[in-house]
Structure 1
């Protein structure tokens, strides 16, 4: 039952609140939310550190003339683009990765850019230092975990190397640079570890949810299969029992023909029990063709009747599944009239209306009638073959019986769900 399992899975997933990020894939429900939270947090955090670095960039500069503006533009323009992209959740990975790469390029060029510039101070860090962990955070959005770790380690170490090269390896720079590198390594490691931990938790939650939904789908599909088997078995029992009773009571050629037809239908149902009860073409048909099918099926039951047609121009065509259900339900009503009312005053009328648009079928006989409410629960001739069958395709049915006769009304409107 793969189709049943799939439909139940979709129903279960439909019970979970959805947003634009999670409406497509039930397997990443929490992960997508965590990714969105990380992106939203990265934007403001990088903005704060970026403003601090930007303010520092307007102070005394270590770069040689001509380098300062180029480095500032080359670093801060991608940074602003990354912050905006994270805020609007568009192209965040692209611009975050671009900033992380350009920052490393700027950091690698730092010794060249500061060559011939002002002598650095061991107690004052250059503006580029404040962006080391911004680059680390950018990799959290843009790159997989191995590259995040590589950037977390490489960026502080590269800063330490280029800072010592800028200072010419003077001993008074060793301790301050070591402290700066250690601080950047620790902070970057904490940030990468936290995001990895939250992503792992989200992945585990999604995996657990997917297993739970799959288990529910399997259980529901099994229950639906068993319910369907019980319903089919009850319907088969009713058809076979009805055929046997008709054969036992047959006294006239018409009754014998009806009994043979009922037995043939019961055998056909048994042979096709594992198939769709509404198999056949789904090509829509008009109300006149529907009346023709009822006449032909009635002849197979031994009942010669002419269906009265009242079909307006513009009557909508009836979907194939609906048409088959209406014909089968109408023939069950005809069979009941032949069997229990000896087809006295048997008539069938098909009415088609253009507004509101639909088809109505009435099967009448002049038998002695019966009490609809007194039908035993295990008798499915009316409940299963007429009422349930029409309801299953979005139609309506009504059985009105009295001592003056019985009228079975079947109705389908084009606006009904089928």
Structure 2
């Protein structure tokens, strides 16, 4: 395994790739102009992280726009028939004010920003009110063969546009005010109108459109609630991740203090004189402290030294008397052991130690137990051995889960992990835990 750094092999780049990359890194005037126009028009790109409130606004905008265009086609015969009682120019103007913004809203809902969609919807709602308010001045004579003017029947389009454009209180005010305007205009144009028919027209238009308004407002409120819950969940996840990172850094620091600082101070107190070995150990400890302060390692992975300290702490937490040794191969600085993998290995190792303390005792003599950790750039190998009573693995009852689940099963579920248990009666036991990186 090479210890030095090697130059990365050259890659052949297909023809045309360099030109494309250069164009992407150095946008020309056309690209700048396009970006400027995109900002002016409020065009947004594909964004998978778009808030739920914006997504539902787009879907509602597209739905309401399509409904408006369908209503225009359905009402066209009635509009043509009632145009006999009003100037043609006013009919065209009213048709444009009532339905002309539907295609614009459909386009805006596809790729433009929330601000643009709401602006178009608000303009459409106001345009509908303007067209309705002009009815008494446009019709030269009452519409004798109709039960209602055509604009009265499409009042829901204005209410839906208001639900998109404004907050709920304003949209409700629009519903009440627009319903009153529509009822008055309808009574003025359609003959034999009475006060009772005016109240009936108002109740009919407001009652029907209130249902549409409630659906639109509820959908937007639900999407906003999803955004709030997502933000809370993200904040909690960030807090948990931060706490976990602080715990890992605290464990690394504690391991460094135990393994390097305290041992250096202990050797210094014992030696009492200047020692080249002690001087080198102190220099190495200071370098490790500088590296820890600099935070050069990845927060969710352990390097060789941190991994060894982590496993040593797990073993000595079970029993301080177990001998712990480590061997490092060349290139160990390249080890990046995931924290989750380190936790799994430490848990399996601690279970092996506990099993040995429970079952490997030999009457009349002390059982020797030792852990050896071998670290390389590509992985880590942990071996726990004892010279105790030993056992026959084939005769272990199936309900004894210490080996099958807590050691073998745990390492089997770890990506890149493996475990082996070797033992014979009277010959002691050896537990080997292995982890290797994928790449």
- How does the TM-score come out when normalised to structure 1? 0.55
Matched, 1:40 2:66: no
Q: Secondary structure at the match of 1:118?
A: coil
Matched, 1:236 2:257: yes
1:77-129: CA deviation from partner (whole Å, max 9, x where unpaired) = 22333344446667433332222111111111111111xx2322375222212
1:225-268: CA deviation from partner (whole Å, max 9, x where unpaired) = 11221122212322236646876998x99xx2232132244356
Structure 2 CA distance for partners of 1:278 and 1:139, relative to 1, 3 Å: same
Matched, 1:111 2:99: no
Q: CA RMSD of the aligned region, Å?
A: 4.4
**Corresponding residue number in structure 1 for 2:40:** none
**Corresponding residue number in structure 2 for 1:96:** 121
1:282-330: CA deviation from partner (whole Å, max 9, x where unpaired) = xxxxxxxxxxxxxxxxxxxxxxxxxxxxxxxxxxxxxxx9xxxx9x99x
Aligned residues: 280
Rounded Cα–Cα distance in structure 2 between residues aligned with 1:94 and 1:69 = 23
Rounded Cα–Cα distance in structure 1 between residues aligned with 2:67 and 2:210 = 16
Correspondence 1:283-294 to 2 at 5 A? none
- Identify which range, 35-44 or 188-197, moves more after superposition: 35-44
- Structure 1 residue 132, shift from structure 2 partner: 1.0
**Corresponding residue number in structure 2 for 1:362:** none
Q: Secondary structure at the match of 2:82?
A: coil
Structure 2 CA distance for partners of 1:55 and 1:173, relative to 1, 3 Å: farther
**Corresponding residue number in structure 1 for 2:293:** 275
Rounded Cα–Cα distance in structure 2 between residues aligned with 1:277 and 1:258 = 27
**Corresponding residue number in structure 1 for 2:413:** none
Matched, 1:205 2:226: yes
The counterpart of 1:53, out of the listed 67, 75, 93, is: 75
What residue ranges of structure 2 are gaps of 5+ in the alignment?
A: 1-44, 306-321, 338-375, 380-439
**Corresponding residue number in structure 1 for 2:173:** 150
What residue ranges of structure 1 are gaps of 5+ in the alignment?
A: 1-18, 280-320, 330-375, 400-418
Structure 2 CA distance for partners of 1:22 and 1:180, relative to 1, 3 Å: farther
Q: Secondary structure at the match of 1:275?
A: helix
Give the conservation status (yes or no) of the 8 Å contact 1:53–1:127: yes
Structure 2 CA distance for partners of 1:144 and 1:175, relative to 1, 3 Å: same
Give the conservation status (yes or no) of the 8 Å contact 1:234–1:380: no
The counterpart of 1:161, out of the listed 171, 181, 184, is: 184
Give the conservation status (yes or no) of the 8 Å contact 1:164–1:173: yes
Structure 2 CA distance for partners of 1:378 and 1:127, relative to 1, 3 Å: farther
- Structure 1 residue 381, shift from structure 2 partner: 8.2
